[in-house]
């Protein structure tokens, strides 16, 4: 990546002056913190695990991008639909020191798996077309070597990650073809269960991974596709770790020991990461990283339900009462410090070698205060430097850990290149009448 002007980092110091180091952490001056963060991100730009720009292209533009300007998306708010401005563009990615990005070719959960397969192909297409439109800024990548080469040349290495196992239509042949199309990770579920794996935010159906689900993990390992365990249930996390022979990732998750949201990773799983070699790419989504905000959500939802009963048949009165409640109970704000707290916890339980960055930008309404969009990553690294993280540790968190994991998945695939694919039985064709 090209150098970002030092004033970007100096401006961050003023924003962070009031924050104090956590108890027991080495005090570092603002000047030292800014210099350490700047040096780390120059040496190892951010390798972000999850960005939902492709989904925004689908919902906002119906994948029509020939006249879409990705250099600046700050004016993309649409009051008619209630959508705020996008979080991501080339200008802000550069300011955020992002050197590599997994673009999420996500499609909504669809019980019609054939439709989900087609929609995922459409998202791969629009993402590749977006990358190709900006060759001076982005470069398509499929391997760790290609990522490093793109970063050396000042381009944003752009990889594809599938989110939601329904995208493969419960068929390993389809999985293999998605790998051939460039997908280098797959999140086994999204918010709902798949036919073979339980999601963290759905009622358990399978008790973890089914036998087919375990074969999905094995085949992903054989191919060199990263197994992404964000969104899955705790039992699926353990089942996948039992089966996996290559490092896993959590492309955008926090630590449940800090915020007990089901989307976050419990300590029982964090403790297994050193043996597996995997990483948690820490998310910035406020409701995953701030417990006060999560509890406020619960109180708000309870109040909505209560007022509907109290004002039964009178929605105007219920709405007015809810407005009054919100005025008296303002929504808490999540901050950069919350993100850093999750990184601290993962370092304590699993070690700094098992931490990465996976913001989830353009997959949430807005990021934490100070990290509202992709330009905010330098502020996070200044905060970590203030907490005593060394330049070498910051480089690991920024991209070196992610590159190690990607390279390890490739190495395992190479080591089993002589193994035959796992075959999936298909339904016999219907006989003509």
Q: What region, left, alpha or beta, does residue 6 occupy, with left being phi > 0 and alpha being psi -120 to 50 degrees? A: alpha
| Rounded Cα–Cα distance for residues 137 and 124 (Å) | 19
Q: What is the pLDDT of residue 110?
A: 82
CA 231, 237, 239, 243: dihedral to nearest 10 degrees? 100
Cα separation, 236 vs 176, whole angstroms:
22
Residue 188 lies in a domain: yes
The whole-angstrom separation of Cα 200 and Cα 7 is 42
Percentage with pLDDT > 70 across the chain: 92
Dihedral (CA of 12, 14, 15, 19) sign: positive
Task: Give φ, ψ of 368 to 5 degrees.
Answer: -65, 160
Beta bridge partners of 275: none
Whether 310 maps to a domain, the answer reads no
* pLDDT surpassing 90 at residue 425: no
| Average pLDDT across the chain, whole number | 93
Q: What does the pLDDT look like over 388-422, one tens digit per residue? A: 999 999 999 999 999 999 999 999 999 999 999 99
How much is the pLDDT for 428? Answer: 56
Residue 321 lies in a domain: no
**Residue 424 within any structural domain of the chain:** no
300 in any annotated domain: no
- The DSSP string of 195-233 is SSB-BTTS--SSSSB-HHHHHHHHHHHHHT-EEE-TTB-
How much is the average pLDDT of 60-68?
A: 97
Residue 5 has pLDDT above 60, yes or no: no
Q: Could you give the number of structural domains in the chain?
A: 1
Helices (runs of H) and strands (runs of E) counted in the chain: 18, 9
Tens-place pLDDT, residues 39-49: 999 999 999 99
Domain range for residue 93?
37-290+334-415
Would you tell me the crossing angle of helices 144-152 and 401-415 to the nearest 10 degrees? 140
Asked, for residue 68, whether it belongs to a domain, the answer is yes
Distance in angstroms (rounded) separating the CA atoms of residues 289 and 268: 18
Indicate whether 44 belongs to any domain: yes
Task: Please report, for the domain that includes residue 60, its CATH number.
Answer: 3.20.20.140
Q: Nearest-CA neighbor of 380 among 91, 40, 86, 27? A: 40
Gap between the Cα atoms of 393 and 355, Å rounded: 10
For 65, other C-beta atoms within 10 Å of its C-beta total 15
- Helices of type H across 62-186: 90-95, 113-133, 144-152, 172-180
User: What is the chain's percent helix, strand, coil content, to nearest 5?
Assistant: 50, 15, 40
pLDDT in tens, 50-60: 999 999 999 99
Across the range 252-275, mean pLDDT stands at 98
Helix (H) or strand (E) holding 355: strand 355-357
Q: What is the pLDDT of residue 433?
A: 52
Catalytic residue positions, numbered: 50, 52, 163, 190, 231, 252, 360
Average pLDDT over residues 181-189: 98
Q: Of 327, 326, 333, whose CA–CA distance to 365 is shortest?
A: 333
User: Is 198 part of a structural domain of the chain?
Assistant: yes
């Amino acid at each position: 990546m090209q150098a970002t002007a030092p004033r970007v980092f100096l401006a961050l110091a003023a924003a962070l002056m009031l924050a104090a180091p956590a108890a027991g952490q080495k005090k570092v001056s603002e000047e030292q913190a800014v210099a350490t963060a700047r040096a780390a991100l120059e040496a190892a730009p951010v390798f972000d695990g999850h960005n939902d720009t492709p989904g925004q292209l689908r919902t906002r533009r119906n994948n029509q991008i020939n006249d879409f300007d990705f250099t600046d998306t700050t004016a993309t708010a649409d009051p008619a639909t209630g959508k705020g401005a996008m979080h991501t563009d080339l200008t802000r990615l550069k300011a955020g020191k992002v050197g590599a990005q997994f673009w999420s070719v996500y499609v909504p959960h669809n019980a019609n798996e054939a439709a989900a397969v087609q929609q995922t192909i459409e998202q791969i297409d629009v993402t590749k077309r977006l990358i190709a439109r900006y060759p001076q800024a982005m470069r398509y990548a499929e391997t760790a070597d290609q990522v490093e080469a793109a970063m050396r040349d000042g381009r944003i290495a752009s990889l594809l990650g599938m989110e939601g196992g329904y995208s493969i239509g419960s068929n390993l042949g389809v999985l293999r073809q998605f790998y051939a199309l460039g997908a280098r990770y797959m999140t086994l579920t999204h918010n709902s269960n798949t036919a073979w794996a339980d999601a963290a935010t759905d009622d358990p159906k399978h008790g973890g991974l089914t036998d087919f689900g375990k074969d999905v993990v094995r085949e992903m390992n054989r191919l060199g596709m990263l197994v992404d365990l964000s969104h899955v249930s705790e039992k699926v996390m353990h089942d996948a770790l039992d089966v996996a022979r290559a490092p896993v990732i959590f492309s955008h998750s926090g630590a449940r020991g800090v915020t007990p949201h089901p989307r976050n990773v419990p300590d029982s799983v964090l403790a297994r990461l050193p043996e597996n070699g995997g990483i948690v790419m820490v998310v910035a989504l406020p409701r995953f990283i701030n417990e006060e905000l999560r509890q406020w959500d619960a109180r708000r939802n309870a109040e909505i339900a209560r007022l509907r009963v109290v004002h039964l048949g009178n929605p105007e009165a219920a709405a007015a009462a809810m407005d009054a409640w919100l005025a008296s109970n303002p929504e808490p704000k999540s901050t950069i410090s919350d993100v850093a707290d999750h990184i601290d916890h993962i370092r304590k339980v699993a070690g700094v070698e098992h931490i990465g960055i996976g913001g989830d930008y353009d997959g949430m309404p807005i990021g934490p205060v100070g990290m509202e969009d992709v330009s905010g990553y330098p502020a996070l690294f200044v905060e970590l430097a203030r907490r005593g993280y060394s330049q070498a540790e910051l480089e690991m968190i920024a991209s070196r850990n992610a590159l190690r994991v990607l390279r390890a998945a490739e190495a395992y695939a190479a080591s089993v290149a002589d193994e035959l694919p796992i075959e999936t039985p298909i339904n016999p064709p219907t006989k003509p009448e």
